[in-house]
Amino acid sequence: MEVWSVGDRSIHLEQGDITRLEVDAIVNAANSTLLGGGGVDGAIHRAAGPQLLEECRTLGGCPTGHAKITKGYRLPAKYVIHTVGPVWRGGAQGEADLLRACYLNSLELADAHDIQSIAFPAISTGAYGYPKEEAATVAIRAVVDRLPRSQTVKNVIFALYSESDYQLYKRLLSTYL
């Protein structure tokens, strides 16, 4: 675990399964149906239990770059913020702006729900094929830009599944902060 300060807020790095984190909210890298899938989405639905899918069915999907919130059910986290990252199509299809919007809109929802700690996976970098270093740069910039004016969020956790992703974020955060 590593920690960086941004004013009186902080950014943490954790390696491992995001579903285990005891935070107010975890972010799901969902698809636009919000009806589940593989990767981190599958893991979150398995850990939260079937009530999560029931609530997701009431939401009517979610456009790319937007975010919607549900309860966390059996997760240690109180909430799940579902956001839909862009599919990587070479980088000239607005992917960076859409990915940035995922982080900003998730943080905005967190503020609206009095969330103090929120954990993000590396959105779009699995099934959606976004190159890892480019995605990590977008993620870190969005959080570093937005965190100082967040109302309630005090701690942002980047939850990286692989050791190599953890090391990538560590290197990039050390150059930014």
Minimal distance in Å, beta carbon 20 to ligand AR6?
A: 8
Tell me if 83 sits within 8 A of 119, measured CB to CB: no
- Of the candidates 8, 41, 111, 145, the residue annotated as catalytic is 41
Beta strands in the chain (DSSP E): 2-6, 9-15, 25-30, 67-71, 79-84, 117-120, 155-160
Catalytic site includes residue 41:
yes
In angstroms, rounded to a whole number, what is the distance separating the alpha carbons of residues 49 and 84? 21
Q: Which residues contact ligand AR6 (rule: CB under 6 A)?
A: 17-19, 29-31, 37-41, 43, 85, 121-128, 159, 161-162, 165
CB closer to ligand AR6, 39 vs 61: 39
Smallest distance from ligand AR6 to CB 52, Å: 13
Query: What's the min distance (Å) between Cβ of 168 and ligand AR6?
Result: 10
DSSP annotation of 21 reads: -
Helices vs. strands in the chain: H and E counts, helices first:
5, 7
Report yes or no: 158 and 120 within 8 Å, Cβ to Cβ: yes
Cβ pair 51, 143 in contact under 8 A:
no
- Nearest approach, Cβ of residue 148 and ligand AR6 (Å): 26
Known catalytic residues? 41
